[in-house]
């Protein structure tokens, strides 16, 4: 009997996989070239306010060390 239960479970699992693949195949996809172009445009539009590009002013940096290390 356990062979039938195992077989039944694998059939149910296979049906779920097939259903999921059908859903994914039916989804409308956006071309990668369009998305890449939009991403480049977004980066260029926001370049002036990006701290990774422009840097952070030392006075506005919350991670700046408050004290300097001095060896005695």
The closest alpha carbon to 12, from 20, 33, 35, belongs to 20
- Please write the tens of the pLDDT for every residue from 13-54: 999 999 999 999 999 988 999 999 999 999 999 999 888 888
- Domains in the chain (CATH in brackets) are 2-54 (4.10.260.10)
More confident residue, 17 or 62: 17
More confident residue, 7 or 42: 42
pLDDT at position 62: 76
Residue 67 pLDDT greater than 60, yes or no: yes
Give dist(CA 37, CA 27) in Å, integer: 21
pTM: 0.46
More confident residue, 29 or 7: 29
């Amino acid at each position: 009997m356990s062979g039938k239960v195992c077989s039944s479970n694998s059939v149910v699992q296979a049906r779920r996989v097939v259903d999921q693949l059908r859903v994914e195949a039916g989804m409308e996809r956006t071309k990668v070239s369009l998305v890449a172009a939009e991403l480049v445009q977004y980066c260029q539009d926001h370049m002036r306010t990006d701290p990774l590009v422009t840097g952070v002013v030392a006075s506005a940096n919350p991670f700046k060390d408050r004290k300097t290390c001095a060896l005695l």
